[in-house]
Every structure is written in C-alpha cells, then in structure tokens.
Amino acid sequence: MAAPQKGPLIYVVDDLMDQRRLCLLALKPEGFRCQEFSSAEEALGAINNPDLETPDAMLLDVALPGMSGLELLEIIKDKKPNLPVVIMTVKDSTEIAVEAVQLGAADFVSKPFEPARLPVSIHNAIEKCKLKEELIELKNEGQKQSEIIGQSQPMQKLFKVMQKAAGSDINALVTGESGTGKELIALKIHDGSNRKGKPMVAVNCGAIPENLVESVLFGHEKGSFTGATEKRTGKFQEAHGGTLFLDEIGELKMDVQVKLLRALQEKEVEPVGASRPEPVNIRLICATHRDLAQMVADGTFREDLYYRINVFPMHIPPLRERKEDIPLLIKHFIKKTCEQEKMPVKRIGLHSLKRLEDFPWPGNVRQLENAVYRAVILSDTQTLELTDFPLNLGTVNKPQSENVMGYDKFTSIEEMPSLAEVEESHIRQVIDKSNGNMALASRVLGIGRSTLYRRAKEIGIL
C-alpha cells in the first residue's frame, strides 16, 4: 500500500497559543501540516537546522516578544529568499502590511481573519513562489520549443499564431482554462521576439492584496502614504524595454483597470505620490481563464481596456480537445520526472496510454503532469500501470456514458443543462461528498484550491 502523500509544511509563528490553534484549525483540514513556534528566535533556529524538513511556507505574526516578525522576515528573505511568508497583522495596520510586502512578504492577513481566507492566502503564496521559480528556470533554459508539446491540429494552429505574435510588438491576450499553460505560452512569445534578453516580468493579478495593486504595478514614492518608508519601483518600470505578463487580468478591480488603460494609452505610469509620470516601453501580454467579453457585458471589465489588450488573441485548447497530444505529453513528463529524480527511465503500456487518453483531464496539462509525477514516484516497477495514477478511471470508455451522467432523463435537447450549469452542479456535488474538505475536493476536481475557492464563491457556496 502506497504511503499517503504529504501536504505542505507550514511554520506557524505566534506567541499566543489560542491564535496558533485558530491557525491550525483553519489549515489542517485543507491538507497542510503545521509546526508551531511561540517566538521568532525558535522559528529561526528551526530554519537554520539542516536536520529538519524545510517548510513550504511560513505564517508569521508581526507582534512577537524579542525579535519582531518583520525582523525575522528580513533575515529569512536573506537566508531563504524562496520561502513564501504570509504576515499576520492587527486590523487597519496598512502601513505594517506595506512594509512587510516591501521586505518580501508574499501576502498578509488581518486579525481576526476569516478561517477560509487563511488557507487560500497560504496556497496562493506557495503557488506564487513556484511560478516565480518556474519563470526563472524557463528563462535560464532559453528557447526550448520541445517544452510545449503538441502535434494536434489545434496546437499546430496555436504555434503559428504564437510565431506571428513573437514577430510583432502588439499587445496579446492568452485565454484558456486553468492548467493549460498560459504563462508558458507568454514566455515563449517573449523569447521569440526582438525583446529577448530584456526583462520578462510576470505578475499574478489575483495574488496581489487589493490595497497594494497600484503600488505593485506602478510603484510609489517614499512618504507617499503611511508606511511608504522608501521608494518602490513598480512592475511596469521593472519590465521597461521588455515584456510585462499580467496573469489573471480579469481579477483586477475597475479602478485599477482605469489606471492600467491610461498607462497603455500614454505609455507612461505615475507612481503613487510622484510629481510627474515616468515613460515606460513594454510589450504587454495578458492571460485569463475568464470570459472577458462576458465580463464586459456584465459591466465588470472595461470595454476600452478589453479592446486595448485583445489586439492579438490566442486561445489554448483544453486537453480534452487535443487527445492525440496526451500520449506525447505523458511520455515527455515520464522522461522529465525520471531525469529530475535521477531514476531509470520508466515506460507505460499502450493500453494504459489509451485509457489515459480517454480521461477528460479537467485540470488540463497541469493535472496530467502532476498525475504522471505521482505515478513515476510511487510505482515499484519500470512499467507504469493505471493503478499508479490518482484518477477515477471507472467510467472511462463505458458505452452510453451519457446515461452515466443521467442524460437519459432528458426528453429533448432544449431541456439539457448548459455547460456552466453542469460545472456548477458537479462542483457542488464534489464539495458535498467531501464534507466540505476543500483540499480533497480540489484534488478530485483536478484544480488548485485557490481556483476552487474562487469558483465556490462565484456560485454562492462560500
């Protein structure tokens, strides 16, 4: 029997035992493992101990006896720059939160916090750190077209569009479901453009605290607001001469959309508190899993901004629409995993490949890669079997599969539900069957916890 997969290890640092317990109650049901510390000195000792497991993230209170949370944050960012840290502050401590972000904190939460907010913040911090590491790794690798696998007609069509996009300097919008690889497409366009070698700056708009979005994107001057103890360069200035990639552009609020539109029209940004704007020369690539056209119709996304960023649209097809690429991707990920883990290269039989090809893969390429990684690591043989994959393949290839979903109860096509209604119903059923365990539900659905929380909120579950 395979050992249960370990969840991310979180260091929880707070001098109040009751507060630590509240954090554990919010995190443990979501699959996180927690290690408690009552002081910054204790946590620092554990960080420096080579015999202890390195944490995946740290939840750090600011007000600690002895060494403060901000002092510990500064030391951690010097010693462990890739360790994501989420700061806990008292309510209305915006200046402390700003200082923490300036020191390298991935996010902050205000006490008292909503239990559902904490695991989302930790998950986003870990994912943001992983994305940053992946972007650095991809940039160091240079152009490596084999990383984007696809011989299907939809992917060949996409490659041609990407080539045209790389040969121009106009704004581009990459759309597609979660897990399809939108950020990788943006990187390949940048690496194939005349801006190659210049900065490629990536920003996940959904991971920035709402009150810090303007500062992060456009920068601010020292003393421009309470807590602005030094000047901050925004992402637009960091990307000057290169490419700015705004992932999840649909998460930006309307007031920020206005300022983004002005920056694109005038080719200049005005940092918070600055006396005059600064010119910027960037190529903008945006990405989203949302339907921006529908958001425009709903009044939640500016129409003028939509047309400004959607000059060169590119859509990444979901994995279920390019099934012939699945065997290629599986073999690629098997080889990649074996090389990373320094293992002899494993194989997979044709029957297993066919069954996996017929699986719907709702989490797309990201889910497939994670499934292959798990199968390679847990398999005790050189040949991967279907049982090595964390999937429910019981209904795959069943005849009249529409009846398995209950479609036989509809007497006419007009009665059948829309795709959005089916998705909402399925999410509700999975969350209900998992007794509200969002970590388990996200694994069953094949999507990230932050995506699940967002969808659950949209359909009114949370």
Which token pair is 310? 């959607």
Q: What is the pLDDT of residue 424?
A: 83
Q: What is the pLDDT of residues 17-65, one digit of tens each?
A: 999 999 999 999 989 999 999 999 999 999 989 888 889 999 999 989 9
For the chain, give percent helix, strand, coil, nearest 5. 50, 15, 35
Which architecture characterizes domain 142-317 according to CATH?
3-Layer(aba) Sandwich (3.40)
- Spatial neighbors of 197 by CB under 8 A, at least 6 apart, are none
The pLDDT score that the predictor gives to residue 132 is: 72
C-alpha dist (Å) from residue 147 to 166, 258, 323, 399, 446: 17, 36, 18, 35, 22
Residue 334 reports pLDDT greater than 90:
yes
Q: Which residue has the tokens 């949209």?
A: 458
The C-alpha atoms of residue 176 and residue 300 are separated, in whole angstroms, by 19
CA-closest candidate to residue 279, choices 270, 289, 268: 268
Q: Which part of the chain has CATH 3.40.50.2300?
A: 9-119
pLDDT in tens, 125-140: 888 887 777 666 555 5
Q: Which is the CATH superfamily of the domain at 407-458?
A: Homeodomain-like (1.10.10.60)
Contacts (Cβ under 8 Å, ≥6 apart) of 378 = 2, 388
268: part of which helix (H) or strand (E)?
Answer: strand 268-269
SS3 state at 273: coil
This prediction has a pTM of 0.56
What's the CATH class of domain 9-119?
A: alpha beta
Confidence of residue 89 (pLDDT cuts 50, 70, 90): confident
Tokens standing for residue 262: 């002005």
CATH (residue range 320-388): 1.10.8.60
In a 3-state reduction of DSSP, which class is residue 175?
Answer: strand
211 phi-psi bin (left φ>0, alpha ψ -120 to 50, beta other): alpha
Q: How confident is the model at residue 273 (pLDDT cuts 50, 70, 90)?
A: confident
CATH 1.10.8.60 positions along the chain are 320-388
For 91-103, the pLDDT digits (tens) are 666 778 888 888 8
Round to whole Å and give the CA distance between 348 and 247: 35
Rg (CA), the chain: 23
Q: Which residue type is seen at 401? A: S
Where does the chain hold its CATH 3.40.50.300 domain(s)? 142-317
- Token reading at 104: 């390298």
